[in-house]
Amino acid sequence: MSEKNSVGIVKSKIFKCKNSLKLDCGVMLNEYELAYETYGKLNTKCDNAVLVCHALSGNHHLAGRYSSSDKYPGWWDSLIGPNKPLDTNKFFVIGVNNLGGDHGSTGPKSINPKTKKSWGSKFPIVTIQDWTSSQNELISYLGISRLSGVLGGSLGGMQAIQWSIQYPEKIKNAIVIAAAPNLTAQNIAFNEVARQAIVTDTSFNKGDYYKLGVIPKTGLRIARMLGHITYLSDDVMGRKFGRKIKKINYQYNLNTEFEIESYLNYQGDKFANEFDANTYIRMTKALDYFDPTNGNKKKLSAVFKKIKSSFLIISFTSDWRFSPKRSKEIVKALLDNNISVSYAEIIAASGHDAFLMSDDRYHDILGSYFKRMLEAK
């Protein structure tokens, strides 16, 4: 997609919410800020807004660039822009950095108004419900009483589900990609290893590392390397790297021998220099906690009873983090309630990360669904 279909130069904005928010953990936030961006224009009926929720390491910068010299566009630039599947000529698209995030929203690095110091370890554990509650405040502030759609992949998809449960009157369509109704034990296990790598890094200092001027890089890079393996499929790693070695012969030492090792180490180093460890921990915790059935106390079908939105669910065959089987659990519970749902299982080799790729078959389905949303208005 050429740059001419870009939303162009964009600016990050801050929404200061003065309404207090009681978090799931019990902590009361008297006020907080959310960093957000918008693309396209809200129409006069205010019925063309699509909220895009981000995943673990994402943020509110979905599309466009901050300046002409900006090296990379927003993370979902392939999807969002004029004449792109999520067409900003027609939709008013909103990206928001989640509470607890590291990209401008109130989070562990922010100044705690009570202490005038960074929250650090004291920043509360946040949940997906806390996020949708705070996103709802932003939506109201923007003058939107009902969203045309909430879209998200992975952890973002879980937010779209939560929106449709929590605010049935305020969301017309939920587009849930590469997500699951909750984490499996294996999912939680991977998150816990990542967290343990971070919290046992001596620089973590129980989360109060800002004041010491250090970063738990060692732990963060391990967390990211591990995460990266789960985002890719065995197959795509085999195709990309296989057993390719860096030198002509084995070196027989502790250095990296295989290209896959270098790749992972590079990804780990990059991430550790960019992402905040306290935020990383909170994002993984939010994933762990998400469970609309509340530990199977209610069936998913029963939880979905009051939903009024239509759904598009997309999964990818090689995604072993949130496999198609998990998406089908959502589809089943929606069908049980006679809720309109379209489901697409895309044959893709890239694993969980496929949701970020610009595969034509995948983007065409999204494009068609967004068109239907316009026609149904």
Q: Which residues bind a second copy (CB under 8 A)?
A: 24-26, 124-125, 182-186, 188-190, 192-193, 195-197, 199-202, 206-207, 218, 221-222, 225-226, 229, 232, 234, 237-238, 240-243, 245, 250, 252-254, 256-258, 260-261, 264-265, 268, 281, 288-289, 291, 295-296
| Complex with a second copy: residue 262 or 368, whichever CB lies closer | 262
By C-alpha distance, which of 172, 23, 36 is closest to 98?
Answer: 36
Q: Backbone dihedral region of 243: left (phi > 0), alpha (psi from -120 to 50 degrees) or beta? A: alpha
Is the CB of residue 309 less than 8 Å from the CB of residue 146? Answer: no
Instruction: Say how many C-beta atoms besides its own lie within 10 A of residue 119's C-beta.
Output: 22
The residue among 239 and 361 lying less far from a second copy, judged by its C-beta, is 239
Catalytically annotated residue among 319, 327, 350, 353? 319
| Minimal distance, residue 358 CB to a second copy, in Å | 24
> Shortest gap between Cβ of 343 and a second copy (angstroms)?
22
362-376 CB burial, b ≥16 within 10 A, e <16:
bbebbbebbeebeee
Dig out the tokens for 224 from the structure: 């990211």
**Catalytic-role residue among 54, 61, 103, 352:** 352
Establish whether 130 is a catalytic residue.
no
Residues 63, 65: Cα–Cα separation, whole Å: 7
Closest CB to a second copy among residues 48, 191: 191
Residue placing its CB nearer to a second copy in the complex, 306 or 325: 325
CB of 351 to a second copy, least distance (A): 10
Rounded to 5 degrees, φ, ψ at 35 are -80, 135
Kindly name the residue from 134, 154, 318, 327 that is annotated as catalytic.
154
- Taking the complex as a whole, the smallest distance from the CB of residue 242 to a second copy amounts, in Å, to 6
Chain mean position to CA 253:
39
* Tokens of residue 126, six digits: 């946040």
At its nearest, how many Å lie between a second copy and the CB of residue 186?
4
For residue 221, what are the CA distances in angstroms to 29, 203, 267? 31, 13, 8
Q: Is 133 a catalytic residue?
A: no
CB-based contact 76:63 (threshold 8 Å): yes
Strand partners, 36: 13, 96
Residue closer to a second copy (CB basis): 141 or 258: 258
Question: Which one, of 130, 156, 118, lies nearest residue 26 by Cα?
Answer: 130
| Residue 215 contacts residue 278 (beta carbons within 8 Å) | no
Q: Is position 319 annotated as part of the catalytic site?
A: yes
CB nearer to a second copy: pick between 271 and 370: 271
Minimum distance, C-beta of residue 142 to a second copy, in the bound complex (Å): 30
Active-site positions read: 154, 319, 352
